[in-house]
């Protein structure tokens, strides 16, 4: 019997009070938007389904009503558990106004939870999240006062502390692929990532729930290459065809982002000489030849550009938490995809690699840093951004480099071969006595002896046993006026304070050379 039906018919299958897992990766990447829009339309017509618990491991949406924001209604949703919230301001408003129960759990934990649920395991036991806002001794992943339930527990095994994330029943999984046959077999040859698609589907199937798959193409039964089938039809209940399905909100189709086409590097557009370039250069100086690295969203993507400018792009293996290994990460609404990648694997397997220490280095953004070395990227200034893969990445990497400007807001600099001059200072400090929310724990990093560096356009800090230490200042900068007085706490100043490399501030290429990877291994031991 054919499993193909309209989006409205599929939406009609979702019962009240269901736990619905929606898989996708933000910016429209791998997002089943037609099905989500049909759920919204059904609720507006009928008032059903009601009181859904919506679970999404990665940020989803376009900040303009798409993605998870299709479901941003306090009657439609009663609880949201998201790995990332930045793309869905509508759902953020429901959380901050206490209209729904709101939680944020690490993306990698949710990825692994789907596999645990599929295997009828009790949950996930991991060190990921210790000392952060996910730790139940702090916030337990809660984002508002309405979130009362405990979703995380502390366990001690063989004298070590771990966090236990209990499994839950998945009533509905809404996933996306490229092609399907009428039996429900799903391929993903036209997608830019695999995400948690199979794990989410298996979790719903083995919970006694249902799987709704959105695809672009319908193929005859028996015509699909079994080597390309990512989700077998035995776990799929409904297939919805959307012939207008796009690769992302920004990009309709691009075979270079699906791995079907390799593209030449082309002419590189260098970064302009500004604070982002200076910071990216200094962060790139922390990398070693042969490193397996993760670059976070936003400013860190400039590190890949710097390496390309310096002719060193081939010396570092970039990875993305969505499952890419090698290649050049895409940016903006296409973030989560990559070009010329060497491999593309399921997100859950990538997080196995990350959690087990497979990353040599991570370069990540910060919104706030405090005197203890804690970092906040998840909740600040009344805004919920969420955590994504940040906790898995920052707690699993052998070395961590956090980057950002020293202060928040509009500012103006003059960069020249002799250093930097501040023409207009930003409005607020990012270096504060205590962060609003602990996304990265300096205490845990010190306990695990992880080298941590904090890079800004005018100063560099390192994490020491007694907290943050100022180790470098930019040439042309006055230590007291331009650094210490612009922070909301006084860090310890290194006895032998260094000057940042003057080449960081030059319009010409740096002539950067990466340290050999063997040195990186020795440093990590």
Residues forming the active site: 321
H or E stretch covering 310 = none
Buried b (16+ CB within 10 A) or exposed e, 348-369: bebbbbbbeebbbbbbbbbbbb
315-319, Cβ contacts within 8 angstroms, sequence gap of 24 or more: 315/289, 315/290, 315/514, 316/287, 316/289, 316/290, 316/291, 316/514, 317/290, 317/291, 317/292, 317/293, 317/342, 318/293, 318/294, 319/292, 319/293, 319/294, 319/350, 319/353, 319/359
Tell me how far apart the alpha carbons of residues 147 and 79 are, in angstroms, rounded to a whole number: 8
Contact 242, 476 (CB under 8 A): no
Contact 315, 281 (CB under 8 A): no
**Strand intervals (E) in 378-427:** 379-380, 383-384, 399-403, 407-408, 412-416, 419-424
Give the residue from 180, 194, 179, 229 showing the smallest Cα distance to 338: 194
What is the DSSP code (8-state) at residue 267?
Answer: -
Query: Residue 391: which residues within 8 A CB-CB, separation 6 or more?
Result: 106, 108, 109, 128, 129, 132, 134, 439, 440
| Helices 197-206, 107-118: crossing angle, 10 deg rounding | 40
The Cα-based distances of 161 to 116, 166, 438, 444 in angstroms read 20, 16, 18, 11
- Residue in the block written with tokens 């924001």: 69
Tell me how far apart the alpha carbons of residues 330 and 297 are, in angstroms, rounded to a whole number: 10
Tell me how far apart the alpha carbons of residues 147 and 96 are, in angstroms, rounded to a whole number: 11
Give the residue from 210, 123, 198 showing the smallest Cα distance to 173: 210
What is the DSSP code (8-state) at residue 270?
Answer: P
- Residue in the block written with tokens 């003057």: 502
Neighbours of 119 (CB within 10 A): 12
| Residue 481 DSSP SS3 | helix
Tell me how far apart the alpha carbons of residues 416 and 274 are, in angstroms, rounded to a whole number: 10
Our CA angle for 79, 84, 88, nearest 5°, is: 70
| Helices 275-284, 301-309: crossing angle, 10 deg rounding | 80
């Amino acid at each position: 019997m054919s499993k193909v039906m309209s989006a409205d018919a599929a939406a009609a299958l979702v019962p009240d009070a269901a736990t619905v897992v929606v898989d996708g990766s933000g910016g429209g990447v791998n997002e089943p938007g037609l099905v989500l829009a049909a759920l919204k339309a059904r609720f507006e017509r009928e008032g059903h389904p009601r009181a859904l618990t919506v679970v999404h491991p990665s940020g989803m949406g376009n900040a303009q009503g798409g993605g998870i924001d299709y479901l941003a209604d306090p009657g439609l949703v009663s609880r949201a558990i998201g790995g990332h919230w930045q793309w869905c301001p509508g759902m953020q408003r429901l959380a901050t106004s206490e209209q729904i129960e709101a939680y944020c759990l690490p993306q990698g934990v949710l990825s692994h939870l789907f596999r645990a649920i599929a295997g009828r395991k009790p949950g996930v036991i991991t060190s990921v999240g210790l000392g952060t806002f996910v730790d139940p001794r702090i916030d337990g992943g809660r984002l508002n006062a309405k979130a009362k339930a405990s979703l995380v527990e502390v366990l001690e095994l063989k004298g070590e502390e771990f966090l236990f994330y209990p499994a839950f029943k998945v009533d509905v999984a809404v996933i996306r692929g490229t092609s399907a046959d009428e039996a429900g077999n799903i391929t993903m040859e036209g997608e830019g990532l695999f995400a948690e698609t199979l794990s989410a589907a298996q979790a719903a199937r083995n919970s006694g729930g249902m799987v709704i798959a959105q695809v672009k193409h319908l193929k005859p039964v028996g015509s699909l290459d079994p080597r390309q089938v990512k989700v077998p039809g035995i776990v799929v209940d409904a297939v919805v065809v959307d012939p207008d399905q796009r690769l992302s909100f920004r990009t309709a189709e691009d075979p270079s982002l699906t791995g079907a086409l390799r593209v030449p590097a082309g002419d590189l557009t260098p970064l302009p000489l500004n604070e982002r370039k200076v910071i990216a250069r200094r962060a790139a100086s922390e990398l070693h030849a042969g490193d397996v690295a993760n670059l976070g969203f936003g400013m860190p993507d400039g590190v890949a550009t710097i390496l390309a400018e310096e002719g060193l792009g081939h010396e570092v293996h970039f990875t993305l938490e969505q499952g890419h290994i090698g290649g050049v990460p895409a940016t903006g609404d296409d973030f989560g995809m990559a070009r010329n990648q060497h491999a593309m694997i399921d997100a859950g397997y990538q997080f196995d690699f990350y959690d087990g220490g497979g990353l040599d280095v991570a370069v990540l953004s910060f919104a706030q840093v405090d005197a203890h070395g804690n970092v906040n990227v998840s909740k600040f200034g009344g805004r919920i951004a969420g955590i994504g893969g940040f906790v898995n990445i920052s707690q699993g990497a052998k070395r961590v480099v956090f980057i950002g400007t020293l202060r928040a807001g509009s500012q103006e600099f003059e960069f020249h071969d002799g250093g930097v001059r501040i023409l207009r200072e930003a409005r607020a400090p990012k270096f504060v006595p205590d962060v609003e929310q602990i996304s990265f724990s300096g205490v845990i990093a010190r306990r695990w002896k992880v080298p941590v560096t904090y890079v800004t356009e005018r100063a560099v800090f390192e994490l020491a046993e007694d907290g943050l230490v100022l180790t470098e200042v930019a040439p042309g900068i006055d230590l007291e006026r331009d650094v210490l007085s612009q922070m909301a706490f006084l860090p310890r100043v290194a006895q032998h304070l260094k000057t940042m490399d003057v080449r960081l501030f030059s319009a010409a290429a740096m002539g950067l050379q990466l340290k050999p990877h063997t040195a990186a291994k020795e440093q990590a031991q």
